[in-house]
Amino acid sequence: MPNLDAEALCAQLIEQMRPQVSADTALVGIHTGGVWLAERLHQALGLKQPLGAIDVSFYRDDYGSKGLHPQPQRTEIPFNVEGAHVIIVDDVLYTGRTTRAALNELFDFGRPACVELAVLVDRGGRELPIGARYCAHTLPQPLPASQSLQLERAEDGTFALRLIDA
């Protein structure tokens, strides 16, 4: 896998999204890396809708086999979802199951007019028919299941991507 510059990818994602969003577009980040990325996108794009955050722990289809995440976060959707243009934001797209869980949870808050997905990296390995409308980088070859790609945020707020062998 090539060395990926998370800061450059973030800037690229912002430029992809800028012509397609309006001040009324709502962003919802998936905990944790997706929330960090959504915070950065929200500020750079000058959106007026408050930023939302989703923890999909209770909506995952593997909840029964894996159990609850050890530190579940709070879901906060501080805008009216009904009829809204919503972009779900995640750091890395893999199987699509996290995105499916986020969609299920989002629809518990109302019926948006449009839902799109923005990710920093698509690592391949999809198990569901889900794709990102906005994606800064798609790996040329899917990562093996034994590896994960993780977004990290330093104390100064800068992003880095780390490849982890399980």
User: Model pTM?
Assistant: 0.94
Q: What is the structure's pLDDT at 18?
A: 98
Give the C-alpha separation, 103 to 141, whole Å.
27
CA 31 to chain centre: 8
Burial class (CB in 10 A: 0-12, 13-18, 19+), 102: buried
Confidence of residue 2 (pLDDT cuts 50, 70, 90): low
Q: Output the furthest CA–CA distance in the chain (Å, rounded).
A: 42
Q: Where are the beta strands (DSSP E) in the chain?
A: 26-30, 52-54, 85-93, 114-122, 134-138, 147-153, 159-165
Report whether 110 contacts 77 (CB < 8 A). no
Q: What is the structure's pLDDT at 46?
A: 97
Segment among 41-50, 54-63, 121-130, 146-155 with least mean pLDDT: 54-63
Give the C-alpha separation, 18 to 3, whole Å.
26
What does the radius of gyration of the chain's CA atoms come to, in whole angstroms?
A: 15
Average pLDDT over residues 115-119: 98
Burial class (CB in 10 A: 0-12, 13-18, 19+), 73: middle
Segment among 25-39, 65-79, 102-116 with least mean pLDDT: 65-79
User: How does pLDDT run across 83-100, given as a tens digit for each residue?
Assistant: 999 999 999 999 999 999
Burial class (CB in 10 A: 0-12, 13-18, 19+), 125: middle
